[in-house]
Amino acid sequence: MILSRKLIPDLIAIQAFECAARHASFTRAGRELNLTQSAVSRQVKELENHLGTLLFERIRQRVVLSEDGRRFLPEARRLLQQSEETMLRAMSSADAKSSLSIATLPTFGSRWLSPRLPDFLRQHPGVILDVGSRSAPFDFEDESFEMAIHYGQPVWARATCTYLCSESILPVAGGALLESGARLTPADLLHQPLLHLATRPRLWSQWLEWSGLSGESVYRGHRFDQFSMIIEAAVAGMGYALLPRYLIEQELQSGELQVVLDLPMETENSYYVVLPEAKTPSATSQHFVAWLMSQIVTSS
């Protein structure tokens, strides 16, 4: 991609604009940036000339964002944040033999992947990892990630999906719900407090139908938008939860959670490792995918 140098933003001018907008003052912006008031004013003026619009309205001793300035401010902050992240990423891997940037689902990353990463680093010393969380597919051309771990169907624009594993869920509980020690049946859960995942609202209904019951009346109960929050709520005894076993290995081992019915149901989606089509995978990427596959086999 060839960029016009005339369109590449001047980050110093954008920083002066963002700081002046935040303080509503060129003088206070100058103090923060260690510049004179006139230097900040000059940077902002150059940016306005570059954009062909006024970013501030000068009112007495104050500067107030114009309509165009208000529209441009979020974009300016995004550019500054991206620039800082790019520099920090480069600095973090400056002395490394190689680096790898991975996007992963939040709970999968914290519960399953992160505890296993030391094993990969023991096998590949000198690699620096940059792990970020993403809950939905994104455009690899707009992000700095070299790969992603995806749950769903093997569909990702301009990328290839390689199957990792399926997912099965089963009912668990913790806290006071375990004190009775009573043996439950699927029908018993129809009258118990249930915890729901907001992004998969039909899980309980599907599991009960798979168990041979009607799941039409099981949408009541507390809702959470992350598995991690449901896990904590289940440990606290707020209700029964449908969870993948691999996400609650520690809680099952400690006894904080127990499987109340050993009736796992395989969900309709699976986990995939995703690589962009436009970039040849590095040797480190290939090593990581092979390692991921080995960990799936070991933990299954």
Segments making up each domain of the chain, as ranges: 5-92, 98-165+269-299, 166-267
Closest of 216, 205, 224, 218 to residue 265, by C-alpha: 205
Highest mean pLDDT among 47-61, 78-92, 251-265: 251-265
Whole-number Å distance between alpha carbons of 82 and 14: 13
CB of 20 closer than 8 Å to CB of 72: no
Whether 98-165+269-299 and 5-92 are alike in CATH topology: the answer is no
Domain boundaries 5-92, CATH class: mainly alpha
Among 10-24, 77-91, 112-126, whose mean pLDDT is lowest?
A: 77-91
| Architecture of the structural domain at 98-165+269-299 | 3-Layer(aba) Sandwich (3.40)
Tokens of 153: 């169907």
When pLDDT is cut at 50, 70 and 90, the band that residue 1 belongs to is very low
- pLDDT at site 84: 77
pLDDT tens string 117-160: 999 999 999 898 999 999 999 999 888 899 999 999 999 999 99
**Buried b / exposed e across 177-195, counting CB within 10 Å, b at 16+?**
bbeeeeeeebeebeeeebb
Mean pLDDT within 187-198: 93
Mean pLDDT within 105-110: 94
Q: What is the pTM of this model?
A: 0.69
Residue entry with tokens 């390692």: 291
Bridge partners (DSSP) of residue 240 are 194
Q: Is the pLDDT of residue 181 over 50?
A: yes
The CATH number of the structural domain formed by 166-267 is 3.40.190.10
Average pLDDT, the chain: 89
When pLDDT is cut at 50, 70 and 90, the band that residue 299 belongs to is low
